[in-house]
Chains A and B, each alone.
Chain A
């Protein structure tokens, strides 16, 4: 199955998994940091929100590494597109276009709603696919196993409902 970005072939899962493990281990060995992306959303919020939640040390002390890491993710995506096929803005959304077929306004609303659930849900759970799913499971942490099973269940039920029942 080609990727949406420029129709590129996907690299083998074993190579991708090894690369992700490498980044996770380098973060720990070189920076003493535990991989986790969803906390970065709090870091960004803490730049403009002043509630006690965003003034905690655990949020503020991480900005120095999480914000550059977050910027790096976007740059990595840009380089990936630019190197093969070229970078160009797109609304293409794969099977969503084929089956659901919302236009740009519908996609923005759909994505904003999904984003709300991602932002609120990951912070309620204390982490996401990276912090719980990769780092937490690797470190044999029970809360990470519980959370990973929960978000996999939520995703499986939702996608099955959307593509096998509703549309």
Chain B
């Protein structure tokens, strides 16, 4: 299965690289409302995934016969606050989490700094969880904010 996940990651990374989703200019053009490229990608991906997911859930089982189990993400004030912070970072770097790795693979040297920042940011969040938990009404540690 490790090879399957590696392969799916490679396909995903290639698509992100060639579509503009990992391209600084396309990210800015989206936020400046100058290009529909990334809105089109997200819209198409959501509509087709929703349709496919409906079919998969109707079948109820994976290809190997295991019952489909989708862990839902909790609702909390961190959705808004974290979303806003992430949006600022996405605009600055021109990359969201997946494309950070894609940009590194493409040879963009500065993306290494974005990865370092993201790891420090995620590490700081985990280390400070009990301090920010009350502030943002986050679920207990065992639940977390939502795992992808």
Q: In angstroms, how far is the closest chain B Cβ from the Cβ of A33? A: 8
- Near B by CB (< 8 A), chain A positions 134-167 give 134-144, 146-160, 162-164
Number of A-B contacts (CB under 8 A): 529
Within 8 A of A (CB), among B15-47: 15-32, 35-47
B: contact size bracket:
35 or more
| Contact among B40, B85, B119 for A117, CB-based, below 8 A | B85
**B134 interface residue per 8 A CB criterion:** no
- Bound-state Cα–Cα, A139 to B45, Å: 12
Q: Are B31 and A156 in contact (CB under 8 A)?
A: yes
Query: B114: which of A35, A71, A115 is its contact (CB, 8 Å)?
Result: A115
User: Which residues does chain B contribute within 8 Å of A27, judged by CB atoms?
Assistant: 5, 8
List, in ascending order, chain A residues with CB within 8 A of B117's CB: 111-119
Within 8 A of B (CB), among A44-100: 44-45, 49, 51-54, 56, 58-59, 62, 64-66, 68-81, 87-96
- Bound CA–CA A66/B9 (angstroms): 9
Q: Are B148 and A108 in contact (CB under 8 A)?
A: no
Let me know if A73 and B56 touch, CB within 8 A. no
Distance (Å) between the CB of B95 and the closest chain A CB?
A: 8
A72:B148 contact, CB within 8 angstroms: no
Cross-chain contact B121 with A121 (CB below 8 angstroms): yes
The chain A residue sitting closest to B75, CB to CB, is: A143
Closest residue of B by beta carbon distance from A41: B122
Contact-residue size bin, chain A (C-beta under 8 Å from the other chain): 35 or more
| A162–B146 CA distance with the chains assembled, in angstroms | 31
Cβ contact within 8 Å between A124 and B145? yes
Residues of B within 8 A of A39 (CB): 147-148
- Chain A residues within an 8 Å CB radius of B48: 17-18, 21-22
Nearest neighbor of A144 in chain B, beta-carbon distance: B73
Q: Is the CB–CB distance between A118 and B5 below 8 Å? A: no
Evaluate contact between B97 and A138: CB separation under 8 angstroms. Answer: no
Residues of B with C-beta under 8 A to A139: 50, 53, 70, 72
Query: Which 8 pairs between the two chains have the least Cβ-Cβ distance?
Result: A36-B148, A72-B9, A154-B87, A115-B117, A76-B13, A119-B121, A17-B44, A126-B146
Given A62-B147, A115-B114, A131-B73, 19 more A-B residue pairs with CB atoms under 8 Å apart are A1-B29, A13-B39, A21-B45, A24-B45, A53-B127, A53-B144, A58-B147, A87-B106, A95-B28, A96-B24, A112-B114, A115-B115, A122-B97, A128-B98, A134-B49, A154-B84, A155-B88, A159-B31, A162-B91
Sampled A-B contacts (5; CB under 8 Å): A41-B122, A51-B127, A75-B13, A125-B81, A138-B46
